[in-house]
Amino acid sequence: MDLSGFNIAVIVVVALVILTIARGVRTVPQGFNYTVERFGRYSRTLSAGLGLIVPYIDRIGHKVNVMEQVLDIPSQEAITKDNAGVRIDAAAFYQVLDAAKACYEVSSLNDALMVLTMTNIRTVVGSMDLDQLLSHRDEINERLLRVMDAAASPWGVKVTRIEIRDILPPADIAGAMNRQMKAEREKRAAILEAEGLRQAEILKAEGQKQSQILAAEGRKESALRDAEARERLAQAEAAATAMVSEAIGKGDIQAANFLIAERYTDALKAIATGPNSKVVIVPIEAASLAGTVGGIAQLTKAVFGEDAVAARRNSGSVPPAGRANS
């Protein structure tokens, strides 16, 4: 197909218009900012979304990531305040708040942040002893964050966190620390064991003391009850003797016989139950005791009542009716 000069001109103009529109429209993805330069000088910043620039005059200078980023700090040697060499590994988290400053205030942001972090780590480590360094990581992180955030602020960067990932002391120092920790733990174990034995002995002594107190209380209560029983028995014996004496005073011969028979029976009982007694010889006069003993129950009932008879039977002083010892 033959093209005339007019058609060629139209095609060129259309192509130029399309190219111009394409150069003037920019799509900025989420999480990024684009800096716009006009004749090589910073003009403005395009945020996420659709952005327009002047074709052939403006151009995109830098594409800046404004999301939070992590910067891996390489492991490095540092000397503590007490001249102990340690190897420290860390990581820094930062976010670009001002894309223009991050691009035009520092030539290489990542390298600058890395060098700044490593330098401040050495400074902080050099101001602390080894024991303090190993046990105060939070303090180290806080001090580094404060210094780094202040230093990176002119670059439009916010340092959000700095984390010390590992602190490795020399092998000989690590061995000494392990031995010290083992000795400390063994000391604690010995103290706890001794404390446990002490508590056990105290509890055992308290238990023995309480047992002795309870036993003494029991003996005291038993002695009081025995004394009370003896007192009541003595009162009963005194009352019985008084009643018998009163009956004898009135001329009641059965009362006298009752008293004699009771004493005679008690004497025989004492002889029969002696520990060395094997053969008991009863005097012939004991035969006449049967009639007397037979009437003891009737006499006791007449003098003391039914309760007295039952009490004396239980104690063995008066045998049941119809029985007599021979």
Greatest mean pLDDT among 8-12, 65-69, 277-281 lies in 65-69
The pLDDT confidence band at residue 167, using thresholds 50, 70 and 90, is confident
User: CA dist 180 to 131, 174, 177, 236, Å?
Assistant: 12, 10, 5, 83
Mean pLDDT (the chain) is 80
225 pLDDT above the threshold of 70: yes
Radius of gyration of the chain from Cα atoms?
Answer: 59
**Which own/partner pairs from 1-5 qualify as long-range (CB within 8 Å, at least 24 positions apart)?**
none
SS3 79: strand
* Burial annotation 169-180 (CB, 10 A radius, 16+ → b, else e): beeeeeeeeeee
- DSSP H/E element including 172: helix 171-249
Q: Tell me: the pLDDT tens digits for 50-86?
A: 998 988 899 999 999 999 999 999 999 988 888 888 9
What is the arithmetic mean of pLDDT over 129-140? 86
308 pLDDT above the threshold of 60: no
The pLDDT confidence band at residue 252, using thresholds 50, 70 and 90, is low
18 pLDDT above the threshold of 80: yes
SS3 105: coil
pLDDT at res. 104? 93
* Rounded-to-integer distance, Cα 63 and Cα 59, Å: 11
Beta strands 49-52; 85-96: pairing state = unpaired
pLDDT at res. 22? 83
pLDDT at res. 258? 66
pLDDT at res. 324? 39
Question: Which single residue is written with the structure tokens 């058609």?
Answer: 7
Instruction: Please list the residues that pair with 88 across neighbouring strands.
Output: 76, 167
The answer to whether 255 touches 286, Cβ cutoff 8 Å, is no
More confident residue, 216 or 256: 216
* Rounded-to-integer distance, Cα 209 and Cα 193, Å: 24
Q: Tell me: the pLDDT tens digits for 142-152?
A: 999 999 999 99
The pLDDT confidence band at residue 219, using thresholds 50, 70 and 90, is confident
The answer to whether 92 touches 113, Cβ cutoff 8 Å, is yes
What is the arithmetic mean of pLDDT over 191-200? 90
pLDDT at res. 9? 80
* Rounded-to-integer distance, Cα 284 and Cα 292, Å: 14
